[in-house]
Structure 1
Amino acid sequence: MKPVIPSILTLSLLFSLSAQAEVQYRIDLNQSQHHLAQVEVSFPQSSAEQLEVQLPVWRTGKYQVLPLADGVRFFTAKDDKGNVLPVTRTASGEWQVALSQPTSVSISYQLYLNKLGQRVGHIDASHAFLDASGTFVYSPEFRYEPIEVEMSVPSNWQSHSGMDSGEEAHTFVADNYDVLVDSPIETGVNQLRRFSADGRDYELVIWGEGNYDIEKMVTDLTKLSGEADAIWDGYPFERYVYMVHATSGASGATEHLNSTIIQRPRFSYREREDYLGFIKTASHEFIHTWNVKAYRPQGLVPYDYQDENISELLWIAEGSTSYFQSQLLLRAGVITAKEFLDDLAKRIARSEVTPGREVQSVAEASANQWASSRGDYAINHSTNIYSEGFLVSLALDFSLLDETDLEHSYRDVHKALYRDHKIPLGYDVEDVQNILKELTDEDYSTWWQRHVNAPLTLDFPDLLSQAGLKIGHGEDSKAVAYSGMTVEGSSLKLKQVLRDGPAWNAGIVLGDEIVAINGLKVTASGFESRIKDFKPGAEVKVTLFSDDKLKSVVMTLGEKQSGKLTLESVKKPSRSQKAFFKAWSGIDWPFDKKGKLKSND
């Protein structure tokens, strides 16, 4: 049979239909000082009786339903002849456009964006940060069609995105809405630096003034970006954009397809501790480019933008990312061994004072993430997919190293997930357990039940000794009294009462206001030191207001170690312990013969 060769006329028709299928977005940002923009969206011809138009109810990276459509006003629809079409609002982020005949549809609306800290969009006189989830509506009918974004902006603005640039200035193109929603745009007055690492192109875009050193940022981001092969074989991108907001009143970060947005207070870069906060965040979001964006749990594949996306494996998506962030920085030489160990020590210390770790498993915390909350109840009855997921990842890493005589680690699990479960496949619990069996020839179902499906209980001294480490509290540490409650700022109203702690067991509850201890007035600033006046086990009389009623209770003080938790070298570490440390961390044993960290750290 002869091959069918399309005629020039057929090819022209196909090209024409393809061109018509493009969804075109236009946004006017010339009146941005009041956080306002005008948006127009042109959808291709639809033959349906109605066109569904939607704005997501959540944004990627934040597993929480948000009121993203609350800034949309003057929503109108027109057909290809300019006639106004009937529109019905069917949900907070959904509209139905009635169609009497096949036609293309143009949507227009005014947009108010002033959600800088939530990273769903922000417009002002100096810039616009546009996350499509809070900016651009889509139609499920055309979700997978090519898109183009055209922006009208002030003449001195520069525009950047992980998307490819269009033919005209301030335009971007993408294969579909999924790419658009995961490729935020930063346009405005900003600084740009370009660099490369391991054959990939990178950009650092900073909006806002502050005490940052942009050249140091470039140097360290270059080192970080070149360290990806410590975990994965290959890259899911050719170009990557680090976007930074140096601002006031906002902090946090969000991962995207081949970019990230990092927000830090403008004067939080100079001091080493502050800078570590920035570079660790950058590492976290960079890792997400693989872990979440290139592969993720099946409950999030594909994204459902109009509903919750439930998965009991979010601890891998987030907690394992937190676990790897300092490892990459250590291997890259951006942080020291001391800084690496201090970070781990803080996480262990935080877990030890979180009663919720005894109540909720990391799998349950993952599935519950969309309904999670903060505050007194959360710390007492819940765990956190980031912090607890970090510790489960640590336990799994050490188990793999031990079972395989240091041949395989948790990095190999993520290497396999990237190799075999790229989007759109996704992965489930069975997939992860199969990878573990392939690496170790052991069945990890019992381990999984004990560490993932049940509240995590780790013997940290025993675990850490495998890597030649032990827990300490400093040379001057001693046993001191503690109450298990925390006052709120400058007042003596309680903001936290730890479950089964001294205050909890005495009947003291959240919201109570402390007045006196043993009949003597106390102040907020002197509350902790007053508690330390007593010995552990002492009984004290606490006078307080509870629901505006004065009462007194007797509280038996507990015991804790003074000083911060530290990780130190065991006495006379063995060769196997040193080898374990290197296989785990990627660096040589950092302590000298006296157990002190070497001078370069």
Structure 2
Amino acid sequence: MKPGLSVFFALTTAATFPVVADIEYEIDLTSPGHQLAQVSINFPETTGELTVNLPVWRTGKYQVLPLADGVRMFTATDDDGKPLSWERTASGEWKIHLPQATEVNVSYQIHGDMLGTRVRHIDSTHAYLDASGVFMYSPQYRNDPLTVELDVPRGWKSHSGMESDGRHAFKAPNYDVFLDSPIETGINYFREFSADDKDYELVVWGEGNYDLEQMERDLKALSGTASVIWDDYPYERYVYMVHATGGERGATEHLNSTIIQLPRFNFRERADYLRFIATASHEFIHTWNVKAYRPEGLVPYDYQNENMTKLLWLAEGSTSYFQYQLLLRAGIASPKEFFADLARRIDRNINNPGREQQSIREASETAWIGGGGDYGINHSVNIYSEGYLTSLALDFALLEDTQLKHSYRDVHRALYRDFRLPKSFNVDDVKGILADLSGKSYEPWWQANIDSPVSLDYTSLLEQAGLVLSYGDNDKVKSNLGVVLRSGSLVLSHVKRDGPAWSAGLHEGDEILAINGLKVTAGGFDKRIADFNVGDEIEVTVFSNDQLKTFKVTLGEAPVGKAQIRGIKGASEQQQDFLKAWLGIEWPFDDEGNFK
């Protein structure tokens, strides 16, 4: 098999195929009390040397992780059970020396304590196993078929996107499929349903305030919306895995499955539930955008090194952009909820100083660094949030340039049609699709909005769809220091670049003690600032690097109300048509611009 062709077979996991295993994996989970498991792997007859690796990152999280830190008691034996010599040559690499041709059995202990990063977690109730943090592979056998068998406590049930080869066994045509098909085994709730002639499973681990009936109903509605963007499905069966946790949160897309984690009591309230179902939508969209088509730099995956691309904003930000649109079309989210989410995103962008410093292309290239903190906020943009708004601007430009005949959905339809794995696409390919759809070059647009820091004119942008952004009925303002405090304290976690506190000389880590000589508390900080007017000069006393300092600060302003999007009074028929072409819904406002 040619290098990279294994990625093609990653798109066939849902199909039924015979797998004659060349690689055999086993994992013993029968004593999970201390989060430990024993893994064994049998490799075919090999000569000279066998290299085995554990990835240094997992798909969906573009960051090098200490995945091999949980590996202990590594051994290698020949086909007679005799020990083989080996050496560790990198953090995730072992080289086994073979004096003669032999099958090789590798065995090691794994510690399952990485629930929050959705890599591996083992306890008395379940095990979540992402192969990237659990099962080693040999590069020379990466394309070969394999089986994995689980030895689990009585009463446990096992689920995966892979084809089942028994109650607790699965098979895959290669390691790429194995790595992108996590296993959830243990005590869990299970539901099955169908949508648009495809089969779906819902597996929930952990107790919480979720409603299984509602989850199943809405996931079924969501799963039937794919044709809004793409012409077909890259799977026959899809598995939604959900963890109700003690605090961990997050989600990761996989080949024909996803894992979603939320604190166990963060499902019932409408705002909490919308976060859950929007996350499910995000990961569902990834089944096409990232799993079925990916930008160059990510094809094929290099599991031992960073995988760089200029288009990570398209992979992640565009997925965020579409997630609420599918909820809207499925009838899960209302127009009011959709526009509330959009207003929050625009407000965050307006108040993000980094949008003037970094382009979304550069953010894609630096995502692996994982920078954050005060510097990150003041000098960077985010591939998810700013990638969403870049996608919005591109969608509106395409709708306008094609007189509403084509939208950004058509770009992704074309990427899926023309660049499915094992192909990849690059910047020129995306520009070519835009030119084909619009009949014009998008080079100037790309330079201004992708390759350069961009500050979008939201007033003009939203006006195209008959919309207006406001902060309440009166657009009142309040005094503002331009800082964010660490939770429950007066320590500055963020000082907004060029804001009042920044201009006065305060910085991250300073601890506020007093304002105008009077002690201030964390709980009373906002009220104390509200005692003053915009433009007032106040004295702020802080501990800065353990030194007592006082700064004179001229207060700025911030909106009193929450960002909201409404319809323009008397919106034209053209504006209403634009909104319908964009979102696929009828005009949701009355004559006064309020939601109907």
1:32 aligns with 2:40: no
Q: Which residue matches 1:209?
A: 207
Q: Is the 8 A contact 1:493 1:513 kept in 2?
A: yes
Structure 1 segments (4+ residues) deviating >3 Å: 18-21
Q: Encode CA deviations 1:393-414: one digit per residue, 9 max, x unaligned.
A: 0000000000001000000000
Distance of 1:114 and 1:270 partners within structure 2: 28
The aligned residue for residue 431 of structure 1 is: 429
Alignment root-mean-square deviation, CA: 1.1
Among 459, 462, 467, the residue aligned to 1:461:
459
What is aligned with 2:42?
Answer: 42
Determine the structure 1 residue equivalent to 2:130: 131
> 1:552 aligns to what?
550
Task: Trace 1:90-169 onto structure 2 (pairs within 5 A).
Answer: 90-166=89-165, 168-169=166-167
Q: Give the 3 Å change call, closer, same or farther, for CA 19–587 of structure 1 in structure 2.
A: closer
Residues 396/275 of structure 1: CA separation in 2 closer, same or farther (3 Å cut): same
Q: Distance in 2 between matches of 1:595 and 1:138?
A: 59
Aligned length: 579
Residue 6 of structure 1 aligns with which residue? none
- Counterpart of 2:360 in structure 1: which amino acid? V
Alpha carbons of structure 1 residues 20 and 215: separation in structure 2 relative to 1, 3 Å: closer
The structural deviation recorded for 1:163 is 0.2
- Give, in whole Å, the separation in 2 of the partners of 1:127 and 1:243: 13
Tell me how far 1:19 sits from its aligned partner.
Answer: 8.2
Q: CA deviation at 1:477?
A: 3.6
CA positional deviation for 1:248 = 0.8
Distance 2:304 2:41 in 1: 19
Residue 489 of structure 1 and its aligned partner are, at CA, apart by 2.2
2:14 alignment counterpart? none
- Cα deviation, 1:28-58, whole Å, max 9, x if unaligned, reads 10001110111100011113x1100000000
Superposed CA offset, 1:205-262 (max 9, x none)? 0001111000100000000000000000100000000000011121000000000000
Give SS of 2:190's match. Answer: strand
Contact 1:43–1:106 (CA under 8 A) maintained in structure 2:
yes
The farther-off stretch of 585-594 and 142-151 is 585-594
Q: Where do 1:190-339 residues align within 5 Å? A: 190-339=188-337
**Secondary structure of 1:100's match?**
strand
512, 515, 522: which is aligned to 2:513? 515
> Which secondary structure does the structure 1 equivalent of 2:99 belong to?
coil
* Aligned counterpart, 2:380: 382
Measure, in 2, the Cα distance between the counterparts of 1:263 and 1:65: 21
The match for 2:365 is 367
Deviation at 1:511, TM superposition (A): 1.1
Q: Percent of aligned pairs with the same residue?
A: 60
SS of 2:297's partner is helix
Q: Which residue pairs with 1:567 in the alignment?
A: 565
- Separation of aligned partners in 2, 1:493 and 1:596: 41
For 1:152, give the aligned amino acid.
D
User: Which whole-Å deviations, capped at 9, do the CAs of 1:281-323 have from their partners, x for residues lacking one?
Assistant: 0000000000000001110000000000000100000000000
C-alpha distance in structure 2 between counterparts of 1:447 and 1:529, whole Å? 44
- Match of 1:27, as an amino acid? I
TM-score norm. by structure 1 comes to 0.95
CA deviations on 1:311-336 (whole Å, 9 max, x unpaired) are 01000000000000000000010000
Give CA-to-partner distance per residue, 1:66-122, whole Å, 9 cap, x none: 010111111111111211110100011100000112211110111111111110010
Unaligned runs of 5+ in 2: 1-17
User: 1:20: how far off?
Assistant: 7.6
- Of 471-480 and 251-260, more deviation after overlay is shown by 471-480
Q: Which amino acid aligns with 1:141?
A: Q
Are the counterparts in 2 of residues 470 and 567 from structure 1 also a CA contact under 8 Å? Answer: yes
Q: Is the 8 A contact 2:404 2:581 kept in 1?
A: yes
* d(CA) in 2 for partners of 1:199, 1:586: 23
Q: CA deviation at 1:594?
A: 2.4
Contact 1:148-1:174 at 8 Å conserved across structures:
yes
- Paired residue secondary structure (1:246): strand
CA shift at 1:144, angstroms?
0.3
Task: Name the SS for the 1:368 alignment partner.
Answer: helix
Corresponding position: 1:358 with 2:356: yes
Q: Is the 8 A contact 1:21 1:44 kept in 2?
A: no
* 1:393-447 deviation line (CA, Å, top 9, x unaligned): 0000000000001000000000000000011111100000000000001100110
SS in 1 for 2:108: strand
Deviates more, 1:474-483 or 1:121-130: 474-483
Equivalent residue, structure 1, for 2:405? 407
Return the TM-score normalized by structure 2.
0.96
Matches within 5 A, 1:16-95: 22-47=22-47, 49-95=48-94
